[in-house]
Amino acid sequence: MKWFLDLSLRNKLFVCFALIFAAMAWVIATAYVGIINIRDSQDRLYAEDFANVQDLDGLRALQNRVRAEVLEAQLSKSRPQQERLLQDVAAGDKNIDLTMARLTERARSDPARLSRLEELKAVQSAFLQTKDGEIIPLIRAGKIAKAEQLAVGVQQPRSEKMRAIGLELSQAAEQDARRAVADADLSAGRSVRIFLQVGVAAMVLGLALALLLVRVIAGPLRILSAAADRVAAGDLSAEVARDRRGDEVGDLVRAFATMVDSQRRIMREILEGVGVLAASSSEILATTTQVAAGATETASAVSETTATVEEVKQAAGVSSQKARYVSDSAQKVAQVSQAGRKSVEGAIQGMQRIQEQMEAIAESIVRLSEQNQAIGEIIASVNDLAEQSNLLAVNAAIEAAKAGEQGKGFAVVAQEVKSLAEQSKQATGQVRTILGEIQKATGAAVLATEQGSKAVDAGMKQGTEAGESIRQLADSIVEAAQAATQIAASSQQQMVGMDQVALAMDSIRQASLQNVSGTKQAEVAAHSLHELGKTLKQLAGRYKV
Amino acid sequence: MSSEQAGPKRLKAATDWRELHQRIEAARLAVDGASVPDAGILRQRARVLAREPARAESADAPEWVEFLLAQEKYALESRHVREVHVLEDLTPLPCTPDFVLGIVNLRGEILSVIDLKKFFGLPEKGLTDLNKIIVLESANMRFGVLADAILGVRRIPSAEIQPSLPTLTGIREKYLKGVSRERTVLLDAGKLLADEAIIVQEQV
C-alpha cells in the first residue's frame, strides 16, 4: 500500500477513478455484450424466425394474390386491365421468387425446413410453370375457359399444397420464433444477471475504492482539520504526526506540522514579547509620570530664564549703544590723528627741504673749498714763480757778480727782481694766510652745515619718529575704531541674538507647556498601553504552547 | 622739534641774511673792480716797493750764495756757482757712492747731484726739503749740490769770516772756509770741485 500512499492525490484519484472507470467499462461492456446478444437474438428473431413467418405469410398472400389476379384476369374483359393484372402477376411472381430465395437462404442451416422448402419450390415451380406457360398465355389468348379450367383443375391442388406447406412452414417458423423468443428471454435474463453481478461488483469496488480514498485522503485531512480547529481554538500544543507519505496530503500534513511548530515558536516569542511589553509599559508609565513632573519643573525654569534673557537683552542694548559711541569717538580720533600725521609729514617735508638746502649749501661750500684749493694751487704756482724769480734773482746776482762792473746795473735789476720775488712771496704768504682763514671758515661753515644737516637729520628722525608714533597711534586708533565698530556690530548682533533667544525662550516656554500637556497625554497613553499590555498578556495566555 | 625756537632763530637769520647779501655784494664789486689794476697804480706801487740798491761793499767782500741744508745755513762762493735751479726729475744711479744722489737733466745737459751731508758724513737731521740744486762749475768739473732753500746772494766781507766752531767738527776741515757772523758755514767750493773723492770711477 505504500506505493499507493506515496502516489500524489491526483494519481491516487486517477488510479481509483481508473479502476472505477474500468469497472464501469466492464459493466458497460457486459451490458453492451448482453444487449448486443439480445439485439442479435432479436435481430435473428426478426431476421430469421419472424422474417420466416412473415415471408411465409407473405408468400401465402402473394400466392393468393397471384391466384386472385389470375382469376381476375380471367374474368376481366378489358385487355389493358388484364395486362395490368398480368403484369401484377408477373411482379408478384418475382416477389414470390425473391421471398422463396430469402426463405431458402435462411433455411440453409435447417435441413428439414430446407427440404420442405424445396418441396414447396418444386410445387411452386410446377404451378408457375403452368401459370406462366399455359394459363397466362391462354388468358392473353383469350382462352379464358381453358385457363379457368386449368386454374381450377391442376392449379388448385398445387396451390392447396403450397398453402399447406406454407402453413406448415409458417407454423414451424412460428414455433421456431417462439422458441427463439424464449431463448432470447433466457439469454436476456442471463445477461441481466451477469450485468447485475458485474454492476454490483463494480459498485462494491467503487465503494471499496471510495472508502480507501476516504481513509487515505479524507481521514488525514479530517485529522488535520481537527488539529487546525484545535489550533484555531488556541491550543498550539496540538501535535500532528508527520507522515512520510510522498503525496500532497503528506506534504500538507508536514507543512501543517511545520506551521504549527513555527506558530508555536512565534507564539512563545510573542508571549515573551508580550511579557516584556507589559513590563516595559509599566516602566514607561512610571517614566512618563516622572517626565510629566520634570516637564512642569522645566516650564517654570523656562519662565524664569525668559525673564533673565529679557534683562540680558537690556544689558546688551546698553553695551551696544556704548560701543557705538566708542566707535564714533574712535573715528573722530582717527581723523584727528590723520590730520596730525599730515602735519608731521608736512614738517618732515619742510625738513627735507631744509636738508636739501643744507646740501646745497654744503655743495657750494665744497665748491668754495675747491676754488680755495684752486686758489691755493694758483698761489702755489705764484709761490713757485716767486721761488723761481728768487732763483732767477740769485742767478742774476751771480752773473752780475761774475760780470763785475758791467754787471752792477744788472745786479740792481737782479735785486729788484729778488725784492719783487720777496714781495710776491709775502703777498702769496698773505694770500695763503687769508686762504687758510677762508679754508678754516669754509671748514667751519661745512662743519656748521654738517651740524645743521645732522640737526635736520635728527629733526627729521624725530619728525619721522613722531610721524611713526602718530601713525602707530593712528593705526591703533583705527584698530580701536574697528574693534569698537566690531564691538558695536557684535553687540548689535548680540541684541538681535538676544531677541532671537527671547523669542526662542518664549517658544521653548510654549513648547514646554505643550510638553507638559503632551507628557500628561503620554502618561494617559502609557497607562492605556499598560492596560493593553495586560490585555495582550491575557490574550496570549489563551494560547497553549 | 620746537617751532618756537625756530621762530626767533629765523627772525635773527632774516636780518643777518640781508646784511650778509649786502656785504657779499660789496666784496664782489671790490674784487671785480680790483681785478685789472691800472698801469699807473702798478708803477706807483713799484716805486713804493722799490728798494735802494745794495751799496757796494769793500773789495774783499765776495758774494756768497747762502743756502739752507738740514736747518743749517751754508754758503758757497758765487764765482763758482753757475746758477741755482729747482730739483726736478732726479734719476738715481746704481753702483755709486752714497753722496751721489743721481743725475738730472738740466736744459739738455746731464748733471750729477751730490748730497753734501753724506759727503761730509753729517748725520741726518730731521726732514729736509731738498728741492734746490746749486750748480757748481769749474774748468773741468761740474756738479750740483742739493740744498733745501736758497737764502740769497750776499756779500760777506772776508774779515768777518770766523774760523769754524767746535760744534762743526764733523765737516772735513779742508772744505771749510769758515763761519760767518750769522753762523753761516762757509764752504770752499773750489776745494769741492777739485776734490778727487767727488770723481766717481766708472768701474766699480
Q: Which CATH architecture has domain B62-194?
A: Beta Barrel (2.40)
The region, left, alpha or beta by phi > 0 then psi within -120 to 50, assigned to residue B89 is left
Taking the Cβ of residue B65 and every Cβ of chain A, the question of whether any pair is shorter than 8 Å is answered with: yes
* Pairing mode, strands B72-77 and B185-187: parallel
Give the A:B interface size as CB pairs under 8 Å. Answer: 59
Q: Which residues of A are less than 8 Å from B150 in CB distance?
A: 390-391, 394
Taking the Cβ of residue A398 and every Cβ of chain B, the question of whether any pair is shorter than 8 Å is answered with: yes
Taking the Cβ of residue B47 and every Cβ of chain A, the question of whether any pair is shorter than 8 Å is answered with: no
Domain boundaries, chain B: 3-59, 62-194
Helix, strand, or coil (residue B169): coil
Per-residue confidence (pLDDT) for residue B3, from 0 to 100: 42
Is residue B6's pLDDT more than 50?
Answer: no
pLDDT tens digits, B69-128: 877 888 888 888 888 888 888 888 888 888 888 899 988 889 888 888 777 777 766 556
Question: Among A398, A434, A470, which would you mutate to test the B interface (most chain B Cβ atoms within 10 Å of its Cβ)?
Answer: A398
DSSP summary character for residue B158? G
Taking the Cβ of residue B39 and every Cβ of chain A, the question of whether any pair is shorter than 8 Å is answered with: no
pLDDT tens digits, A53-85: 788 888 888 888 888 887 787 777 778 887 888
Mean pLDDT throughout A275-286?
A: 83
Nearest CA in chain A to B76: A398
Question: Among B47, B136, B153, B156, which would you mutate to test the A interface (most chain A Cβ atoms within 10 Å of its Cβ)?
Answer: B153
List C-alpha distances in Å: A142 to A76, A83, A134.
Answer: 10, 12, 12
Per-residue confidence (pLDDT) for residue B170, from 0 to 100: 53
Rounded to 5°, the CA angle B191-B194-B195 comes to 80
CB contact under 8 A, A398 and B83: yes
Give the list of residues 6+ apart from residue A544 with CB closer than 8 angstroms, or none. Answer: A234, A235, A236, A237
Is residue B169's pLDDT more than 60?
Answer: no
- Mean of pLDDT over chain B: 75
Residue A472 C-beta-side C-alpha neighbours within 13 Å? 5
Mean pLDDT throughout A122-129?
A: 83
Is residue B204's pLDDT more than 50?
Answer: no
B126, B112 Cβ separation under 8 angstroms: no
- Express as a percent the part of chain A with pLDDT over 90: 0
Mean pLDDT throughout A418-423?
A: 82
Is residue A10's pLDDT more than 60?
Answer: yes
* Among candidates B54, B82, B85 on the partner chain, residue whose Cβ is nearest the Cβ of A391: B85
Paired residues of B152 in beta bridges: B66
* Among candidates B1, B49, B78 on the partner chain, residue whose Cβ is nearest the Cβ of A423: B49
Is the entire prediction scored with pTM above 0.80?
no
Mean pLDDT throughout B141-159?
A: 84
